[in-house]
Chains A and B, each alone.
Chain A
Amino acid sequence: DGGITQSPKYLFRKEGQNVTLSCEQNLNHDAMYWYRQDPGQGLRLIYYSQIVNDFQKGDIAEGYSVSREKKESFPLTVTSAQKNPTAFYLCASSIDAGGRSTDTQYFGPGTRLTVL
């Protein structure tokens, strides 16, 4: 079964803790992305990676960190520096990082993070 998996589905964090969200894909896609979605809002880009061992900041990268050591994996760490981390986090991937017009992003099921 090809697809994108995210874990955990629900995550609860105490203030001051770092947490890591997992994202794995077996689609052989080059590019991977992390988005944050707040209630009633669209998706905001946190980080993206076009190739292994390289990644770029998105629009709201402060308080987050990522790594891309393997093509299949793009974990996101929400650090204690992120002041309002409660949100729905979505990971996506796409075939071609070169920006072809038809390149499409596909999403994982998401992780809902709540800060207690």
Chain B
Amino acid sequence: QKEVEQNSGPLSVPEGAIASLNCTYSDRGSQSFFWYRQYSGKSPELIMFIYSNGDKEDGRFTAQLNKASQYVSLLIRDSQPSDSATYLCAIRYSSASKIIFGSGTRLSIRP
């Protein structure tokens, strides 16, 4: 059983709309949660992390964490064509250096 699940997509969203990306995980001992963006052929770059239940906002991005339901989401407001990329969800379990990555969701913003 995969430990971090993401819908592979592609998720197609019109420019200017809100893109919603979801990630579920299986281990209740998960401690912190990361969202990375990866453009085709490039390395992942960190968008934001969250470790407390609730919402965390950074510019056009909002991460939402619900530990009881074991999911974490990333919302992208006012989507731009430059947001078209694969978004990787990653999770660190308690007292561990290792991070487990999901397989990513491909997002396409259509003009």
Q: Which residues of A come within 8 Å of B, CB atoms?
A: 31, 35, 40-45, 48, 50, 58, 90, 94, 97-99, 101-110
Contacts and interface: CB of A to CB of B under 8 A. Distances in A.
Contacts of A48: 97-98
Main secondary structure of the interface of A (DSSP, over half): loop
Contacts of A108: 43
Given A40-B103, A42-B104, A104 B43 contact: no
A99 B95 contact: yes
Contacts of B98: 45, 48, 58
B103 A41 contact: yes
B101 A42 contact: yes
7 contacts: A42-B104, A58-B98, A90-B44, A98-B97, A102-B32, A102-B49, A109-B42
Given A42-B103, A110-B43, A99 B97 contact: yes
Given A101-B92, A107-B44, 6 more contacts: A42-B102, A42-B104, A94-B97, A102-B49, A102-B51, A105-B46
